[in-house]
Amino acid sequence: MNKFAELNSAAAAQLFADYCLTQGLQVSAVVQRPDFAELYAAAEQLAQVEEEFKRFLQQPAHPRYQAAAWQLSQPTAAATERVLPAFNLRQLWQQAPLTLLLLVLCLLVYGWQQLDWQASSAALQLTEPAQLWRWFTPILLHFTLTHLVFNLAWWLYLGRQFEQQLGSGLLLNVSLSVALVSNAAQYFIVHPYFGGMSGVVYGLFGYFWLAGRLNPAQGLTISNGLAGFMLLWLLLGFMDLLWISMANWAHLGGLLAGFAWAWLLRKHNGQQQQLTDTDT
């Protein structure tokens, strides 16, 4: 994503971004303060977006912009598709193969758990730390269908965006390192009898949350509502107010590891920007 403008009105920036979405243009508004916002656009659409922006500056009160905002606020089928795009396996494989591979692997392991619970748990839990691969394999285990669906939905949402913007190699490095840190935290502080990808999910969440502030050009941001939900879930887990047993230290370890990666990659402009620079 390329930054192309700054506005002294967050509301105006969001209005323009909403209008662009209705025109099929990938534009995002990053609000720093109510009186300051930045606008970013996909590199391949930058010229068209800049033309639209010039028109917006000339007539910011034109009804077309208010109409676009109203259209996005309606719960139509088209609007739903923009927020939750159709699950297309071929497209997902082309755009984010690692995201799809890990998702399928978790599904296969869950099937194995239903057939032989004891064997699958004994093979993948961190009960034999001398076997180095066990420091990673707990992320494949899920103990209920709700646990599986919750984690895979977040993995699909965050992993797909990360892989598209920063590439499969970086997603692999981040996921493995976050898995190691989160699993180690749970193992050393509590016990080895845990599983789930939520540590990695919290790592990606932490990355999106901090990267969206350190380097919005990466195009990886998360809404305040989702961020609040994830932090509340983490807090409730530590307060032991939930009806399920949570690997709380894995969540916290993953979150901190995600923050660390966001800091390390704070100057990385994303895959789209790199391709643009190479072409020129």
CA distance linking residue 231 with residue 55, whole number of Å: 40
Provide the CA 121 distance to its chain's centre, in angstroms: 28
Is 223 a catalytic site residue?
no
Q: How far apart are CA 275 and CA 220, in angstroms?
A: 17
**Active-site residue, from 198, 223, 245, 268:** 198
Is 268 labeled as catalytic in the residue annotation? no
**Span(s) in the chain for CATH 1.20.1540.10:** 89-274
Show pLDDT as tens, one digit a residue, over the chain (280 residues).
788 998 888 778 888 888 888 888 888 888 777 778 888 888 888 889 999 999 899 888 777 776 666 555 544 444 333 334 455 778 888 889 999 999 999 999 999 999 999 999 999 999 999 999 999 999 999 999 989 999 999 999 999 999 999 999 999 999 999 999 999 999 999 999 999 999 999 999 999 999 988 988 888 988 888 888 899 989 988 887 766 678 899 999 999 999 999 999 998 877 544 433 433 3
Domain with CATH 3.30.70.2350 in the chain: 2-83
Q: Would you say 147 and 154 are in contact if contact means Cβ atoms under 8 Å apart?
A: no
Of 200, 28, 223, 183, nearest to 99 by C-alpha is 200
Please, what is the end-to-end C-alpha distance for the chain in angstroms?
Answer: 16
* pTM (whole model) above 0.95: no
Whether residue 131 contacts residue 192, with contact meaning beta carbons closer than 8 Å, is answered with no
Neighbour-count burial of 265, counting CB atoms closer than 10 A to its CB (0-12 exposed, 13-18 middle, 19+ buried):
buried
CATH architecture of 89-274: Up-down Bundle (1.20)
Third-level CATH fold of 2-83: Alpha-Beta Plaits (3.30.70)
